[in-house]
Structure 1
Amino acid sequence: MYNDYFYPYKAAVEAGVGSVMASFNVVDGVPAHGNKWLLTEVLRDQWKFNGFTVADYGGVSEMVNHGLGDIKSVSELALKAGLDMDMVSEGFISSFKQSVAEGKVSMAQVDNACRRILEAKYKLGLFADPYKYCNASRAKKEIYTKENRAIARQTAAESFVLLKNEGNMLPLAKKQTIAVIGPLANTRSNMPGTWSVAAKLDNPATVVEGLQAVAGKNTTILYAKGSNLTSDPVLEKHSTMFNRELHRDATSEEALRAEALAIAAKADVIVAAMGEASEMSGESSSRTDIGIPDVQQRLLKELLKTGKPVVLVLFTGRPMTLVWEDENVPAILNVWFGGSEAAYAIGDVLFGNVNPGGKLPSTFPRSVGQIPLYYNHYSTGRPASDNGFEKFRSNYLDEKNAPLYPFGYGLSYTQFSYSPITLNATTMNSTGTITASVTVTNTGKTGGVEVVQLYLRDLVGTISRPVKELKGFEKIQLKAGESKTVTFTITANSGYIDHPIPF
């Protein structure tokens, strides 16, 4: 917990965060909403957090399903564990009068929870103005402004990850005919990701509109749906909830595909907008098969048979298995769910107005059988050999150990070279530092962004450590031919094993 999970939460507390929400997870058999070790011993006693804690939706009442008692019992457990505010379970409000009378919880415990909540309201200025953050005219003035949309467009473009660009197929030329094909090519509501609950789903442009706007009048954009999201209408319904309808077409798969192929025949280049709907990932949206749905993949294979250059614009909120696509599609751009200005950002990147520089924040496996698969794993006593499969080692009979796309991976329209790493010292004490420097040169013909990443490995220690850990990164922009030296400072904490557990 300390070395793998706590880092971002501890950093938030150290930065002065005002509230912390309990999770739905169970730690050592105790749900987080009733876990005193998490909510009090770690959060308050060790990290000195002084804000208030809040339940995640019905997290308190859900402890009943965990088998920890009735709503009154689990509410008492939550308060005594250190949870200050219930959300929708209503056990606090319905049972604490009785709980106090029975001595199950004390008035001091109730007062402490109330005080922390009231302090937060005071700091927010809500006692002086209870409607301070409910100004409708301010919202109309500030939301979806030209300035904010420009920021959203830039942010989306910077988040995209170029997974493949065989033969420098991208960026695309503008003066040509482009066929935009796929079930995600002409939808607005699918642009914002899951849990974009306040998004105006009719506002985003479609991929078709975004490409046309960026390319201009000298580019001809053609469109065909080509297929539905999935071949299963029930699955598609489950995958397009909360008004994110993709308007399932009753036309047969064969007819939709034939229409798409006819459109593709008129084009110089094909842009295939495929992948997942936004509600296919996120909370309560698990899949047993994380590949592109079969009906879309069948369409993609037929588009490739035309012999026309194909760019796969991939919509996804999770790592996907894309082995066939990587082997056969010349260019793949992962655009996630880029938000209200995603369509224009897609155009910016595809046509080269923006050089992609995003890196993967997660590992893309070759097969679901490799999961869990993550870069900072531990070695085994019999690690896989560099020479391929060897019996009685940590390898698969039928698959490589390596992922398809590793954590931190992402291509650019230019190329970068790295000098050997230089260190200012080879040893340090517990209060000292070592600087690691590397010179990065843009060896390509266009300017670009590179995210320089520092990984460390503790080769010898008192306990086993991961094969590598990300300890720093810096985003730099280089013109063609330009070089820059990036320096990272390594401290004892960079390799520190936090709070070792006694055995």
Structure 2
Amino acid sequence: MNKKQLIQLVEEMTIDEKINQLLQLAAAFYSDKAEEKTGPMSDLGLNQDIIDTAGTTLGISGAKEAKRVQTEYMKNNRLNIPTILMADIIHGFRTIFPIPLALGNSWDEGAIEKMAEISAKEAAVSGLHVTFSPMVDLVRDPRWGRVMESTGEDPLLNSRLAAAMVRGYQGENLKEDHMRVAACVKHFAAYGGALAGRDYNSVDLSERQLREMYLPGYKAGLDAGAKLVMTSFNTVDGVPATGNEWLFRDVLREEFGFDGVVISDWGAIKELIAHGVAEDEKQAAELAIKAGVDIEMMTMCYPNHLKELIDEGRITESLIDEAVLRILELKNDLGLFENPYRGADEQLEAEVILSDDHRQIAKEIAQKSMVLLKNDSILPLNAQEKVAIVGPGAQSTDILGAWSWQGKKEEAISLVEGAHLLSENLLVATEKFDYFDPSEVAINEAIELAGQVDKVVLALGETDWMSGEAASRSDIRLPEKQLTVFAKIMEKNPNVVVTVYSGRPLDLQGIESAKGIVQAWFPGTEGGSALAEILWGRYNPSGRLSMSFPETVGQVPIFYNVDNTGRPYESAPEEKYVSKYLDVSNYAKYPFGFGLSYSDFEYQDMRTNSDTFTKEEPLEVSITVKNNGQVAGEETVQFYVRDLVGEVSRPVKELKDFQKVWLEPGETQTIRFILSEEMLRYVHKDYKVKSEPGQFVVMIGGNSRDLTTMTVRLND
């Protein structure tokens, strides 16, 4: 259909049909079992007419069910308008990849795009049209459980990976390529800035921080073509996002030029009442539609009150029409008017879902996402060594993460399963080892096994419910019993490698004396195989942190790109009256960009082609990287800049570019970065984005802490 035909379709709709197009209902309302939807219908005050004309559907699964629902929907819809089937496909559909925070650790745009492409393919053959991904909320506080859904603390890295995800999900042409799905950038905006790391909490940011640090990731996803944006639960400058006209009309629509669909998060319109900006559902509906929220997810403010608001002259029908048209345009972009069943295909579903090829790619991406945090000459293990694998994560398949909607734990590969493919010299506990309260029998067995081997792999960490939505934690250390077991095993055998499954950076106090630490995150379906291959040296770890690990939870929020202060710690660290703690350093235990390798990369001979540069003539900065190790490996070369004098205080360093380089043993390569004037622009006092002439420090290294530096000057 063309735009004119879509407008005509809007004109043919009754006001009730138009308003109901703005409603999203969950799968239960389309069940073919009456008893499954009677209760939910009563709870929301729904009737069948509303269900038959609600514009989009949430959480349908499976090609056969998707086709049944679409058939029934269109049969009951007077104008034969198809519904859109949406779902949370966050890091894989049935083949589960590492959680997004882990994916961020890969620093690999190609891998991220491939993950999204496979996720889209599995979802599409199962009948789905839209995924609520990527989540590009910048995150700085690991107490917040939803850090697991973000790619990290840096706006540049988040932006590049957001764009890669959108490309992977959507491909080149959604209408013609039915193996792709539409992407929804979320949560607009600044959801990751929740105060105290507490989910759904208020956010208190300056507009400059919002624009410089938080908005770039969303913008990158939109520039890559994302079709939808989801509102966030939080306030922005005191106004809840879902009713924030400035945020959605001025910033999203006018400044960013976004003309796609805006959807609320679950129940977020009605929550305007709890926020205290609306006295009832009627006012909540008014605020949201005026802000430009096109779809209301799972509350009834729009269906119950929009027509009344029109009759009272508080809103115009044109607001409804523009929202309906955007929804119909999305349906048209997906090709649903031509083929309402789109990619749904039971035969392809059986062939594609969890295929061997998808599992292999999931393993490779999991390997890229794991980070070697510590290695005191204990890794890699070799097949001749006798190794005990103990602890709660040893045989656990609880490695998918909290947002693996269709993933099945029984299809995941545990660490022990993966290790058995690589070594026959393994001792494995037989007793179940609980994450929180292991039995004395299980603890004693682990200690006994530790005394019988050369080395111990102690698998610790979180369970899936400990991170994710509504999973904030004030204490982000490992559970106490796990620390106790670690101490006892170290007494028996000091040659311990700790592996950590988690959905957030943890406070790793209590395991510092381990000779090796591998951060495995929640690595997905093939996680155990990927982790085992790293431990036994089949894969040289290449992951680099996209979010800092605190030395202690008392430091958080902690992040590398902090603004300088009037009394910087670095100026006199031994003095009291500088910005510092009395009992711990200012610095992260493991900083942004950090990660070890079985190779030994040396940085040398940093150069620039000039001491000065201009807008017309950018600067070339180069450095030589050599692999002094005995094995080939991949290094992520990171390029940072500091603006020494700005109109407003500037961060002590900002990531401006990065390159991944593969080096054979003894190989040397020269890596070159181009620094342009455009890369030095920032938000000024008047909120205009521009640069200023002056001195800049350019920095290159393997992480945000260990850097080689030079000073250059930007001239007019």
Instruction: Determine if contact 2:262/2:293 at 8 Å carries over to the other structure.
Output: yes
CA distance in 1, matches of 2:219, 2:497: 42
Find the counterpart in structure 2 of residue 408 from structure 1.
Answer: 593
The answer as to 2:384 corresponding to 1:198 is: no
Find the counterpart in structure 2 of residue 493 from structure 1.
Answer: 678
Q: Which moved more, 1:86-95 or 1:291-300?
A: 86-95
User: Alpha-carbon deviations, 1:290-316, whole Å to 9, x = none?
Assistant: 111110000001111112411101111
> Which SS does the other structure have where 2:638 is aligned?
strand
> Which SS does the other structure have where 1:313 is aligned?
strand
User: Alpha-carbon deviations, 1:287-345, whole Å to 9, x = none?
Assistant: 1111111100000011111124111011111111113322x100000000100000000
1:438 to 1:104, Cα distance in 2 relative to 1, 3 A: same
1:101 to 1:73, Cα distance in 2 relative to 1, 3 A: same
Instruction: Determine if contact 1:180/1:223 at 8 Å carries over to the other structure.
Output: yes
The answer as to 2:488 corresponding to 1:302 is: yes
Instruction: Please tell me the residue identity of whatever aligns with 2:634.
Output: V
1:201 to 1:324, Cα distance in 2 relative to 1, 3 A: closer
Find the counterpart in structure 1 of residue 333 from structure 2.
Answer: 123
Instruction: Please tell me the residue identity of whatever aligns with 1:81.
Output: A
Find the counterpart in structure 2 of residue 99 from structure 1.
Answer: 309
1:502: Cα distance to partner?
A: 6.2
2:542 alignment partner, one of 341, 348, 357: 357
The answer as to 2:264 corresponding to 1:55 is: yes
What pairs with 1:285-324 in structure 2 (closer than 5 Å)? 285-324=471-510
1:499: Cα distance to partner?
A: 5.9
Instruction: Please tell me the residue identity of whatever aligns with 2:511.
Output: E
Find the counterpart in structure 2 of residue 258 from structure 1.
Answer: 444
1:34 alignment partner, one of 233, 240, 243: 243
The answer as to 2:445 corresponding to 1:212 is: no
Q: How many residues align?
A: 478
Find the counterpart in structure 2 of residue 72 from structure 1.
Answer: 282
Instruction: Determine if contact 1:53/1:84 at 8 Å carries over to the other structure.
Output: yes
Find the counterpart in structure 2 of residue 424 from structure 1.
Answer: 609
1:430: Cα distance to partner?
A: 3.2
What pairs with 1:64-213 in structure 2 (closer than 5 Å)? 64-69=273-278, 70-166=280-376, 168-188=377-397, 190-213=398-421
Instruction: Determine if contact 2:455/2:493 at 8 Å carries over to the other structure.
Output: no
1:472: Cα distance to partner?
A: 0.8
Find the counterpart in structure 1 of residue 514 from structure 2.
Answer: 329
CA distance in 1, matches of 2:684, 2:648: 13
Q: Which moved more, 1:262-271 or 1:44-53?
A: 262-271
- Normalised to the residue count of structure 1, the TM-score between the two structures is 0.92
1:431: Cα distance to partner?
A: 4.4
Q: Which moved more, 1:114-123 or 1:413-422?
A: 413-422
> Which SS does the other structure have where 1:311 is aligned?
strand
Instruction: Please tell me the residue identity of whatever aligns with 2:561.
Output: N
1:87: Cα distance to partner?
A: 1.1
Instruction: Determine if contact 1:224/1:260 at 8 Å carries over to the other structure.
Output: no
User: Alpha-carbon deviations, 1:343-385, whole Å to 9, x = none?
Assistant: 0001110111100010011111111111111100011101114
CA RMSD of aligned residues (A): 1.7
> Which SS does the other structure have where 1:391 is aligned?
coil
1:65 to 1:212, Cα distance in 2 relative to 1, 3 A: same
What pairs with 1:274-293 in structure 2 (closer than 5 Å)? 274-293=460-479
> Which SS does the other structure have where 1:456 is aligned?
strand
- Identity in percent: 38
1:151: Cα distance to partner?
A: 0.3
1:421: Cα distance to partner?
A: 2.2
User: Alpha-carbon deviations, 1:61-80, whole Å to 9, x = none?
Assistant: 11111012211211111111
User: Alpha-carbon deviations, 1:200-220, whole Å to 9, x = none?
Assistant: 2210021111111233xx333
1:17 alignment partner, one of 215, 226, 232: 226
Structure 1: segments with no counterpart, 5+ residues? 232-248
CA distance in 2, matches of 1:221, 1:132: 50
- Normalised to the residue count of structure 2, the TM-score between the two structures is 0.65
CA distance in 2, matches of 1:499, 1:20: 27
Instruction: Please tell me the residue identity of whatever aligns with 2:328.
Output: L
> Which SS does the other structure have where 1:17 is aligned?
coil
1:489: Cα distance to partner?
A: 1.7
The runs of at least 4 aligned residues of structure 1 exceeding 4 Å deviation read 224-227
Find the counterpart in structure 1 of residue 436 from structure 2.
Answer: 230
CA distance in 2, matches of 1:60, 1:137: 40
CA distance in 2, matches of 1:347, 1:460: 48
CA distance in 2, matches of 1:302, 1:387: 40
1:271 alignment partner, one of 440, 452, 457: 457
> Which SS does the other structure have where 1:111 is aligned?
helix
Instruction: Please tell me the residue identity of whatever aligns with 1:289.
Output: D
CA distance in 1, matches of 2:272, 2:327: 23
Instruction: Determine if contact 1:440/1:483 at 8 Å carries over to the other structure.
Output: yes
Instruction: Determine if contact 1:442/1:483 at 8 Å carries over to the other structure.
Output: yes
Structure 2: segments with no counterpart, 5+ residues? 1-209, 689-716
Find the counterpart in structure 2 of residue 240 from structure 1.
Answer: none
CA distance in 2, matches of 1:466, 1:473: 18
CA distance in 1, matches of 2:570, 2:494: 40
CA distance in 2, matches of 1:77, 1:105: 10
1:265: Cα distance to partner?
A: 2.1
> Which SS does the other structure have where 1:185 is aligned?
coil
> Which SS does the other structure have where 1:324 is aligned?
coil
> Which SS does the other structure have where 1:470 is aligned?
strand
1:176: Cα distance to partner?
A: 3.0
1:227: Cα distance to partner?
A: 4.6
1:286: Cα distance to partner?
A: 1.1
Q: Which moved more, 1:458-467 or 1:317-326?
A: 317-326
> Which SS does the other structure have where 1:173 is aligned?
coil
Instruction: Determine if contact 1:181/1:226 at 8 Å carries over to the other structure.
Output: no
Find the counterpart in structure 1 of residue 214 from structure 2.
Answer: 5
CA distance in 1, matches of 2:323, 2:685: 31
> Which SS does the other structure have where 2:290 is aligned?
helix
1:448 to 1:159, Cα distance in 2 relative to 1, 3 A: same
CA distance in 2, matches of 1:300, 1:268: 16
> Which SS does the other structure have where 2:409 is aligned?
coil
1:178: Cα distance to partner?
A: 1.7
CA distance in 1, matches of 2:518, 2:687: 47
> Which SS does the other structure have where 1:366 is aligned?
coil
Instruction: Please tell me the residue identity of whatever aligns with 2:331.
Output: K
1:435 to 1:502, Cα distance in 2 relative to 1, 3 A: closer
1:118 to 1:273, Cα distance in 2 relative to 1, 3 A: same
Instruction: Determine if contact 1:191/1:204 at 8 Å carries over to the other structure.
Output: yes
User: Alpha-carbon deviations, 1:43-96, whole Å to 9, x = none?
Assistant: 111111111111111111111110122112111111111111111122112221
User: Alpha-carbon deviations, 1:431-477, whole Å to 9, x = none?
Assistant: 44222111111111110010000111001111110000111111111
1:474 alignment partner, one of 618, 641, 659: 659
